[in-house]
Amino acid sequence: MTRLVVVSNRVASPTETKGSAGGLAVGVFGALKDSGGVWFGWSGDVVSDSVANQGPKLEQDGAVTFATVGLPKKDYDQYYRGFSNATLWPVFHYRNDLAVYDRDEYAGYRRVNSWLAHRAIKLLQPDDVIWVHDYHLIPFGEALRSEGVTNRMGFFLHIPFPSPQILLNIPPHEELVKSLCCYDVVGFQTPGDQAAFHDYIVRHAHGTATADGEVEAFGRKLKTGVYRIGIFPDEIAEQATRGEARQDVMDLKQSLEGRKLIMSVDRLDYSKGLVERFKAFEYFLEKSPEWRGNVTLVQIAPPTRSDVDTYQQIRHNLEYEAGRINGRYSGLDYTPIRYMNQRYDRWKLMSLFRESQIGLVTPLRDGMNLVAKEYVAAQNPDDPGVLVLSQFAGAADEMKGALMVNPHDMVGMSEAIGRALSMPLAERRERYETNMVMLRKYDLGVWRDSFLADLRGVKLNKPLSKRPAGNK
């Protein structure tokens, strides 16, 4: 099998890939181990220009080379904090209102992608298959192509692809889509994301796109596909049961004194709908006095990107809301919302999921949302909790056993909480089984293998002699 080169904004460390990290790191590492190869990307460090230019730093683990570079402060600001997280992230999550556009940051984004491509070129071999991940690296493939790299190159977008009317808000939208067309395979989380991309190709890029993902645009042919990222459900179940007896989980259980537990775990991000969730829980307590004192919401949300303004704001809002709601409904021995800002070991999170009666996963928009899947896989099959899930998470496409909610509908969310808390065992089991069928069908291995099979099998692109027909 040909070697695999994975390129992502952040590279997991060799120790993280051994199990303490999320499923993605483990899944990608599995593919790398099978075929041998390189995992290339940013180390997460901000360094001086001269240190950055010394990279990449190489670490070997069996047949896998971890190759990382540091970024100078200006590059970090423009590429990561700026265009990636203050422009692309909000717009791709339908939050134009939070997006800022700055030409210099965009120029920095493209410059860093070209610089990263130059750093990567020296690690490449002629037959390597290159798999690039996520919105930080959209122009990475184009930068390689402009240096004459003709290897098979695929791109997977972990976040939603917005409908064209939203994407048009980013001034260089056409350059971004043109960059995507330099890959041989472009993968999306859901059919809706793929359709939005096709829509742009046909209506705004004078291209063509067929239902089975054959795209021609900007003088290139490529394949698009839907590859639903998943988890390894048995591994999660094992982590959840391994943790069951551990002291802190027992302590939490004891401190609940028989109250029902609702679990929510997210990165602290405005796309995750945390404020709306807190308000819905408050509304539930207001309308259901019998539940006051009898149910606790545990929200675990470690801060991310805390040097981006909008992230500081969401943190303040959330602290304010948690304090306000707790002020209103706490008793001497009861706190309705326990809000924690730390990261937790995976086994601990999974066993907390298993102890809880509801997994409340209500993003305003999410590419997939692995927490929803982990919540289900962590349940006790004999007495499972209920997943309450936003219709705007990519996972909603598969998890038909969830109670589906619109996160903008406070009353609807409150009703779903009430319904989940009193759902009979037989219905809980049935819903759990429905979800588990899909978790098994689309596990992390299927995601990875189907993407790579398409990339390895795709007909290599030949430059088109003329623009495709059917232009508007």
- Enumerate the active-site residues: 158, 366
Examine residue 267 and tell whether it contacts ligand ADQ (CB under 6 A). Answer: yes
Q: Closest approach of Cβ 93 to ligand ADQ, in Å?
A: 8
- Edge-first strand order for the sheet with 403-405 is 337-340, 295-300, 260-265, 358-361, 386-390, 403-405
Contact 262, 224 (CB under 8 A): no
Q: Closest approach of Cβ 156 to ligand ADQ, in Å?
A: 8
Examine residue 233 and tell whether it contacts ligand ADQ (CB under 6 A). Answer: no
Q: Which of residues 273-332 bind ligand ADQ (CB under 6 A)?
A: 300, 302
Name the residue nearer to ligand ADQ (CB basis): 205 or 231: 231
- Whether the bond between 56 and the residue before it is cis, its omega within 30 degrees of 0, is yes
What is the C-alpha separation between 70 and 49, in angstroms, rounded?
Answer: 9
Q: Which of residues 372-391 bind ligand ADQ (CB under 6 A)?
A: 374
Q: Closest approach of Cβ 377 to ligand ADQ, in Å?
A: 11
Site track for ligand ADQ across 203-232, x = CB under 6 A: --------------------------x---
Tokens of 162: 């917005």
Of the residues 25, 124, 153, 159, which one makes contact with ligand ADQ according to CB under 6 A: 159
How would you write 246-303 as a 3-class SS string? CHHHHHHHHHHCCCEEEEEECCECHHHCHHHHHHHHHHHHHHCHHHCCCEEEEEECCE
What is the C-alpha separation between 399 and 388, in angstroms, rounded?
Answer: 10
Name the residue nearer to ligand ADQ (CB basis): 22 or 418: 22
9: closest CA among 57, 47, 45, 42? 42
Of the residues 180, 182, 318, 368, which one makes contact with ligand ADQ according to CB under 6 A: 368
Helices (H), 10-88: 23-35, 49-54, 73-75
Tokens of 2: 């040909």
Examine residue 367 and tell whether it contacts ligand ADQ (CB under 6 A). Answer: yes
Q: Closest approach of Cβ 188 to ligand ADQ, in Å?
A: 11
Q: Which stretch binds ligand ADQ (CB under 6 A): 4-12, 37-45, 71-79, 343-351?
A: 343-351
Tokens of 229: 């990222």
Q: Which stretch binds ligand ADQ (CB under 6 A): 64-72, 179-187, 256-264, 361-369?
A: 361-369
Examine residue 118 and tell whether it contacts ligand ADQ (CB under 6 A). Answer: no
What is the longest distance spanned by two Cα atoms in the chain? 76
Name the residue nearer to ligand ADQ (CB basis): 217 or 396: 396
Query: Where do we find the tokens 């809706």?
Result: 192
Name the residue nearer to ligand ADQ (CB basis): 115 or 353: 353
Contact 139, 178 (CB under 8 A): no
Name the residue nearer to ligand ADQ (CB basis): 189 or 208: 189
What is the C-alpha separation between 186 and 198, in angstroms, rounded?
Answer: 11
Helices (H), 205-272: 233-243, 247-256
Tokens of 332: 């001497």
Q: Which of residues 2-41 bind ligand ADQ (CB under 6 A)?
A: 22-24
Query: Where do we find the tokens 């997006």?
Result: 99
Name the residue nearer to ligand ADQ (CB basis): 362 or 369: 369
Name the residue nearer to ligand ADQ (CB basis): 24 or 217: 24
DSSP structure string for 289-342: GGGTTTEEEEEE--B-STTSHHHHHHHHHHHHHHHHHHHHH-BTTB-SEEEE--
Q: How many residues in the shown chain lie near ligand ADQ by CB under 6 A?
A: 20
Q: Closest approach of Cβ 22 to ligand ADQ, in Å?
A: 4
Site track for ligand ADQ across 70-99, x = CB under 6 A: ------------------------------
Positions that interact with ligand ADQ (CB under 6 A): 22-24, 158-159, 229, 265, 267, 300, 302, 343-344, 349, 366-371, 374
